[in-house]
């Protein structure tokens, strides 16, 4: 199993039932671990903010629904830019299921991020026409642009050429990742800052499972009785319009 703490669902739930006093003792012990996790997260966040920055020298261009834009334009008047590296290959007809799961969270975040001087934009290699069509299908409204024909995805190690994949490994998540564990496209999140001179700096990137804390639905599942109940990372996730509706459970009343 990928997660050591994953609940084995074949265990009879009744075997986990204890008295309120026993439960409270176990819950208090877990609370200490949760508090340490919170303190560790604070330390990691402080270290993240202390990272040095790298000036972006390349003139990246993107296709948008309103024409070509530069990386500087994507800031939309704000000083901070977060880019969701959304997996959507030019040959695909739909975006990645896992990236779509994250995208379902974005629209509700935007007013809060924007008020905090942060712009969030999704970037994919698919042509803008495919992006716009999929965006309509999913009923999303956040900014989403195409890096088709640009080096952007390759420079930030979320897209890989056939030659790179054929070499046996690709540079992903700050290490050489075996090609059999990689695809043409992989997910990530990158942060940028623009100063008053208009200079842009790359401040942070995260990949693979690094972005899980941004997935509110996943965090709720981590607190549910059966957890994520998955056989692999996000194995349960589908595009939101592809779930099969389950019949409502019987209330036990006469029908």
Q: What mean pLDDT comes out for the span 185-209?
A: 97
Q: What is the pLDDT of residues 28-75, one digit of tens each?
A: 999 999 999 999 999 999 999 999 999 999 999 999 999 999 999 999
Q: Tell me the two tokens of residue 36.
A: 């340490």
Say whether both 70 and 156 belong to one domain.
yes
Q: How many CA atoms lie within 13 A of 242 on its CB side?
A: 13
Residue 254 has pLDDT above 60, yes or no: no
Q: What is the mean pLDDT of the chain?
A: 90
Same domain, 42 and 103: no
Same domain, yes or no: 39 and 119 = no
My answer on whether 208 and 100 are in the same domain is: yes
Across residues 186-207, what is the average pLDDT? 97
Strand duo 200-207 + 169-172: pairing: unpaired
Instruction: Return left, alpha or beta for 76; rule: phi > 0 is left, psi -120 to 50 is alpha, else beta.
Output: left
Residues 36, 130, single domain; the answer is: no
**Mean pLDDT confidence for 120-142:** 97
More confident of the two residues 1 and 242: 242
Do 126 and 182 fall into the same domain?
A: yes
pLDDT at 12 over 90: no
pLDDT given at position 8: 47
Q: Is 230 contained in some domain? A: no
Specify if 127 maps to a domain: yes
113 and 23, same structural domain?
no
- Token code pair at residue 39: 């303190």
Q: Is residue 39 classed exposed, middle or buried when 0-12, 13-18 and 19+ CB atoms within 10 A define those classes?
A: exposed
pLDDT for residue 10: 55
- Report pLDDT for 20: 95
In a domain, 120, yes or no: yes
What is the radius of gyration, based on Cα positions, of the chain? Answer: 21
The answer as to whether 218 is a domain residue is no
Tell me how far CA of residue 133 lies from CA of 25, 95, 98, 120, 126, in angstroms: 53, 11, 18, 20, 11
Asked if the model's pLDDT at residue 255 lies above 60, the reply is no
Instruction: Give the model's pLDDT for residue 182.
Output: 83
44 and 128 housed in the same domain: no
In a domain, 223, yes or no: no
C-alpha to C-alpha distance for 90 and 131, rounded to whole angstroms = 10
Q: Based on the domain organization, do 60 and 45 belong to the same domain?
A: no
Number of domains in the chain: 2
Are 162 and 199 contained in the same domain?
A: yes
| C-alpha torsion sign, points 33, 36, 38, 44 | negative
CA distance 64 to 36: 44
More confidently predicted of 113 and 17: 113
What is the average pLDDT across 183-207?
Answer: 96
| Residue 108 falls inside a structural domain | yes
Pick left, alpha or beta for residue 129 (phi over 0 → left; psi -120 to 50 → alpha; otherwise beta): alpha
User: Which CATH number do you get for residue 205?
Assistant: 3.40.30.10
Answer whether residue 176 is part of any domain: yes
Give the Cα separation of 121 and 110 in Å (integer). 10
Q: Give the strands of the sheet with 144-146, arranged side by side.
A: 54-55, 200-207, 188-194, 80-85, 118-124, 144-146, 61-64, 67-70
- Which residue range is the domain that position 32 belongs to? 18-50
Q: Report yes or no: 238 and 97 within 8 Å, Cβ to Cβ.
A: yes
């Amino acid at each position: 199993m990928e997660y050591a703490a994953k609940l084995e669902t074949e265990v009879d739930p009744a075997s986990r039932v204890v008295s309120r006093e026993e439960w409270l003792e176990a819950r208090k012990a877990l609370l200490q671990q949760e508090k340490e996790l919170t303190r560790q997260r604070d330390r990691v966040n402080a270290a993240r903010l202390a990272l040095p920055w790298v000036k972006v020298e390349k003139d990246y261009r993107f296709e948008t629904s309103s024409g070509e834009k530069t990386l500087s334009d994507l800031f939309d008047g704000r000083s901070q830019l977060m880019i969701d590296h959304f997996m959507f290959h030019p040959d695909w007809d739909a975006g990645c299921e896992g990236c779509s799961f994250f995208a379902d969270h974005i629209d509700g975040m935007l007013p809060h991020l924007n008020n905090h001087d942060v712009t969030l934009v999704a970037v994919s290699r698919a042509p803008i026409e495919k992006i716009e069509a999929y965006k309509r299908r999913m009923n999303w409204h956040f900014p989403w642009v195409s890096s088709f024909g640009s080096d952007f995805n390759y420079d930030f190690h979320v897209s890989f050429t056939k030659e790179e994949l054929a070499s046996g490994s690709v540079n992903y998540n700050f290490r050489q990742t075996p090609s059999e564990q990689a695809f043409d496209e992989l997910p990530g999140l990158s942060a940028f800052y623009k100063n008053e001179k208009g200079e842009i700096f790359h401040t942070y990137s995260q990949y693979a499972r690094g972005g899980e804390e941004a997935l509110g639905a996943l965090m709720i599942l981590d607190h549910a009785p059966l957890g994520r109940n998955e056989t692999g990372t996000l194995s349960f996730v589908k595009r939101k319009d592809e779930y099969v509706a389950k019949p409502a459970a019987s209330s036990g009343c006469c029908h």
